[in-house]
Amino acid sequence: MKENKTFYITTPIYYPSAAPHIGHLYTTVACDAIARFKRMEGCKVMFLTGTDEHGQKIQQKAKEAGVTPKQYVDEIAGKFQKLWKYVNVDYDRFIRTTDDYHETAVQKIYQTLLNKGYLYKSEYKGKYCTPCESFWTESQLDENGKCPECHREVKEATEEAYFFKLSAFSEKLEKLLTETDFVQPEWRAKELVNNFIKPGLEDVCVSRTSFTWGVKLPFDEKHIAYVWIDALSNYITALGYENDKYDDMKEFWPADVHMVAKDIMRFHALIWPAMLMALDLPLPKKLSVHGYINFNGVKMSKSIGNVVDPFVLGERYGVDSIRYHILREMPFGSDSDYSNEIMINRINSDLANDLGNLVSRTVAMVVKYFDGTLPAEREEGEFDADLKKMAVRLTPAVTSLVDETKLSSALTEIMNVVSRANKYIDETAPWILAKDPAKRARLASVLYNLLETIRICTALLTPFMPAMMPKALEQIGASKEDISFEKLSVFGVLPACVTVKKGDVLFPRLDVVSEIEYLNSVIAPQKEEQNAERAEDEDLDKAGLISIDRFAQVKLRTAQVVACEKVAKSVKLLKLRLDDGRNGRQIVSGIAKWYKPEDLIGKKIVFVANLTPAKLCGELSEGMILSCDCGDSVKLLTVDSEVPNGSTVR
Ligand code: ME8
């Protein structure tokens, strides 16, 4: 139990120029899972996230949107906070770089760097990538002379600027990267040494005069702070460094973990430690660098246009399934490729079949054979020792993997024990034991061992799936004390006569074919494809035609009207409840003039299944019903009564 230990973990602060997607979600959910795990261990945790709101890019976007930069960032910072709440990210502090206390502290940081001789004025001549807000040297550009990160055009920039003496820290940084385990995984540190330190570390330009949206330098007000110095400082200003808003530096600095993706590793592994050295502050303990979530091999990003919207996935599959999927799929340090197929199969195999089934089978057997409460008698038997050994070894193994930020491996370890428990059911065959009254004590032991294994596994999974695991624990009758951290390495904690409580299915099994069809219809295809399609569509548009591919994007299906009523506030609208062969849906249609609600019940109709849901007079409409114009009246397009509900129309 780490009662007096503190733990400080940070995500990057996100640019508010893009709608959050599951790439952003990965880092934040990973940090959330670690933060929750550390709280469970008994640490006092500070989990920081936020938004990075200054810079030329944002100034431009705001201008395009016809609002002030502040109005622009206010709206988008809210979107991130809404997403984090939705996916149960339980951060302790949220920083915005436009917060007054942060801006003042950044000015003081610049002043200190100047006073200590680490800043000097010169002229910047170089290549600047506006979208990445990064300066590059000639040798760092890609093979086409473009930005090595986003591969877009860079432009020549010359302006008076302040420089930070990064080169002065070359030796110390090399030592940090080669002699310590600051950067994880280790091979990433080698990459930094070879790419940046060996060729000779250059000083960094840390002020701009060509735009105004940022922190003004206190000693030269026409200069705006470089976004990266501004942004990196957040990790200390949010604890109260050089400001009165907070006073947590002593308790939480140095950070235990900064987690970032590989694109921003160099800022965190070179500029940030050098800044801290210049400020005489201790260095963070670990920089954990993960790969990208790709979509068909390309980094998922709003500017590429291949993003997967977390709200869409969460609504459909539950937030915990999405959290589990992205954490389980991302191998430590490498990229992971998002695919609808892998996600649906992963949810089915790990969550519905293995975990969900283990819980529901075990609880159902305790209810069936013992009316929900186990008797006190016990009889140990074959296979018990192996299961128990695996279960008690799990917590220390998972703890060290979480400490190493190897979350996918931690989940694999837990799911191995879940699988072992399922195998134990097959080995011990409780349904056969139940037939023999003499085997009652053995049956009770088997079920108790299963409940104990579930207790340990689901408690360890709680930081990863905080919505559903408490429900699983409730079903097996585990109290809060039963899952205190020190009890997760002990077998035999639940009361001997534990009472279980049957509950809802934790993770319903998904129909692979229809879910993939659904996901393909809602997830944005790649931009190149979109552009090509758009050009083709534009030509066809001119001729008043559409391509077959475009038509195929419209998903038409059959359904049967099972209920219908008028929409209260409207004379035109009827609200129809449909049996669509799936979960059912509601559609609002403007046909009240031609149909009475009771006339529609039982009719089989055709509807558009992949329209964006909309609210009409306050009622949700999930699609559109097809109808035909017949002179002055309108008739619904109906289908033969033999056609099953939910059939595809093509
Ligand atoms: O870089 N896969 O902000 P940002 C995995 N403001 N992670 C991804 C991802 C993907 N496809 N896309 C984004 C910035 N991320 C700066 C940071 S910190 C002082 C300043 C995650 O909005 C990943 O963690 O571009 C990456 O490092 C971060 O989003 C960058 O977000």
Evaluate: CB of 263 within 6 angstroms of ligand 1. Answer: yes
The CA distance from 391 to 226, in Å, is 51
Ligand 1 pocket, residue 54 CB under 6 Å: no
Q: What is the pLDDT of residue 540?
A: 60
- Residue 133 CB–ligand 1 contact under 6 Å: no
Predicted confidence (pLDDT) at residue 520 exceeds the cutoff of 90: no
Q: Which ligand 1 atom sits nearest the alpha carbon of residue 11? A: 24
Q: Is the peptide bond before 185 cis (omega within 30 degrees of 0)?
A: yes
Closest CA to 47 of 93, 99, 6, 102: 93
Reply yes or no on whether the pLDDT at 575 is more than 90. yes
Q: Is 90 exceeded by the pLDDT of residue 347?
A: yes
Count CB-CB contacts under 10 A for residue 124. 19
Q: Is the pLDDT confidence value at 642 over 50? A: yes
**Averaged pLDDT, 389-393:** 98
Ligand 1 atom having least distance to the Cα of 51? 6
Instruction: Report the alpha-carbon distance of residue 406 to residue 393 in Å, rounded.
Output: 17
pLDDT category, 611, cuts 50, 70, 90? confident
**Could you give the angle at which helices 407-428 and 384-403 cross, rounded to 10 degrees?**
170
CA of 74 to the centre of ligand 1 (A): 19
| Three-state DSSP state, 301 | coil
pLDDT tens by residue, 243-283: 999 999 999 999 999 999 999 999 999 999 999 999 999 99
Q: Which residue has the least CA distance to atom 4 on ligand 1? A: 14
Average pLDDT over all residues of the chain: 91
**Calpha distance 84→246 (Å, rounded):** 23
Decide: 15 in ligand 1 pocket, CB within 6 A.
Answer: yes
Ligand 1 atom 8 nearest Cα: 23
Pick the closest to residue 6 from 411, 406, 285 (CA basis). 285
Q: Distance from the CA of 14 to the center of ligand 1, in angstroms?
A: 6
Give the separation between CA 392 and CA 390, rounded to whole angstroms: 6
Residue 3's pLDDT is 55
Percentage of residues in the chain having pLDDT higher than 70: 94
Domains of the chain, first to last: 339-489 (1.10.730.10), 512-550 (no CATH), 554-649 (2.40.50.140)
- Among the ranges given (35-39, 189-193, 523-527), the one the predictor scored with the smallest mean pLDDT: 523-527
Helix (H) or strand (E) segment spanning residue 527: helix 527-542
Cβ-contact 214, 224 below 8 angstroms = yes
Q: Say how many Å lie between the CA of residue 64 and the centre of ligand 1.
A: 23
Q: Which two tokens stand for residue 148?
A: 């090595």
Residue 569 has pLDDT above 90, yes or no: no
Cα 206 to the chain's mean position, in Å?
A: 32
C-alpha of residue 260 to centroid of ligand 1, in Å = 7
DSSP state of 489: G
Q: Is the CB of residue 58 below 6 angstroms from any atom belonging to ligand 1? A: no
Q: Tell me, using a 6 A CB cutoff, whether residue 260 lines ligand 1.
A: yes
Q: What is the pLDDT of residues 485-496, one digit of tens each?
A: 999 999 999 999
Q: What distance in Å separates the CA atoms of residue 537 and residue 526, rounded to the nearest whole number?
A: 16
Helix 310-317 to helix 22-41 angle (10° resolution) is 60
CA–centroid distance, 226 to ligand 1, in Å, is 18
DSSP string, 188-239: HHHHHIIIIITT-PPPEE-EESS--SSPEETTEEEEEE-HHHHHHTHHHHTT
Whether the CB of 299 sits within 6 Å of ligand 1: yes
Q: Is the CB of 232 under 6 A from ligand 1?
A: yes
* Kind and range of the H or E run holding 473: helix 469-475
Closest Cα to atom 7 of ligand 1: 23
Examine the pLDDT at 140 and tell me if it is beyond 80: no
Closest residue to atom 16 of ligand 1, CA basis: 14
- Which of 79, 102, 263 to probe ligand 1 with, by most ligand atoms within 8 A of CB? 263
Pairing of strands 119-129, 93-96: unpaired
Q: Is 289 in the pocket of ligand 1 (CB under 6 A)?
A: no
Is 421 a residue whose pLDDT tops 80?
yes
What is the spatial distance between Cα 255 and Cα 283, in angstroms, rounded to a whole number?
A: 8
Report the atom number in ligand 1 closest to the C-alpha of 28: 24
**What is the average per-residue pLDDT within 202-218?**
92
CB of residue 300 inside a 6 A radius of ligand 1: yes
Q: How far is the CA of 309 from the centre of ligand 1 (A)?
A: 16
Nearest to 457 by CA among 529, 362, 539, 525: 362
- For 53, residues 6+ apart whose C-beta sits below 8 A from its C-beta are 16, 69, 73, 77, 96, 97, 98
Lowest mean pLDDT among 87-96, 114-123, 621-630: 621-630
User: What local confidence, expressed as pLDDT, does residue 135 receive?
Assistant: 67
Asked if pLDDT for residue 1 goes beyond 60, the answer is no
Q: What's the confidence (pLDDT) of residue 54? A: 96
Strand-strand pairing, 93-96 and 44-51 = parallel
Contact assessment for residue 167 and residue 202, using Cβ atoms and an 8 Å cutoff: yes
Does the beta carbon of 293 lie inside 6 Å of ligand 1? yes
Tokens 């340090």 correspond to: 333
Which residues lie below 8 Å from residue 344, measured CB to CB, with a gap of 6+? 510, 512, 515, 516, 519
How many other CB atoms are found less than 10 A from the CB of residue 191?
16
**CA gap 441, 459 in Å, rounded:** 27
Give the Å distance between the CA of 195 and the centre of ligand 1.
21
Closest atom of ligand 1 to CA, residue 14: 22
d(CA 356, CA 507) in angstroms, rounded, equals 6
Q: Is the CB of 23 under 6 A from ligand 1?
A: yes
For 93-153, the DSSP string reads EEEETTSHHHHHHHHHHHHHHHHTT-EEEEEEEEEEETTTTEEE-GGGS-TTSS-TTT---
How far, in Å, from the CA of 169 to the mean position of ligand 1?
26
464-497 burial code (b ≥16 CB/10 A, e <16):
bbbebbbbbbebbbbeeebbebebbeebebbeee
Residue of 6, 41, 181 lying closest to 462 (CA atoms): 41
* Region 300-329 average pLDDT: 87
Q: What distances in angstroms separate CA 525 from CA 17, 517, 520, 546, one per listed residue?
A: 20, 13, 8, 18
State in Å: Cα 530 to ligand 1 middle: 24
Strand partners, 625: 607
DSSP state, residue 373: B
Strands 44-51 and 6-14: parallel
Residue 306 to residue 526: CA distance in whole angstroms:
5
Reading phi first (left if > 0) and then psi (alpha if -120 to 50, else beta), residue 442 is in: alpha
pLDDT on residue 289 = 96
Q: What is the mean pLDDT of residues 25-54?
A: 97
Q: Which residues pair with 629 in a beta bridge?
A: 634
What does the pLDDT average to over 363-390?
Answer: 97
Among candidate residues 463, 335, 471, 355, the one with its CA nearest the CA of residue 399: 463
Strands (E), 437-573: 556-566
**Is the pLDDT at 528 greater than 50, yes or no?**
no
258 CB under 6 A from ligand 1?
no
Q: Are 230 and 272 in contact (CB under 8 A)?
A: no
Q: Is the CB of 77 under 6 A from ligand 1?
A: no
Pocket test for ligand 1, best of 21, 26, 289 (most atoms within 8 A of CB): 26
Atom 27 (ligand 1): residue with closest C-alpha? Answer: 261
The answer to whether the CB of 14 is under 6 A from ligand 1 is yes
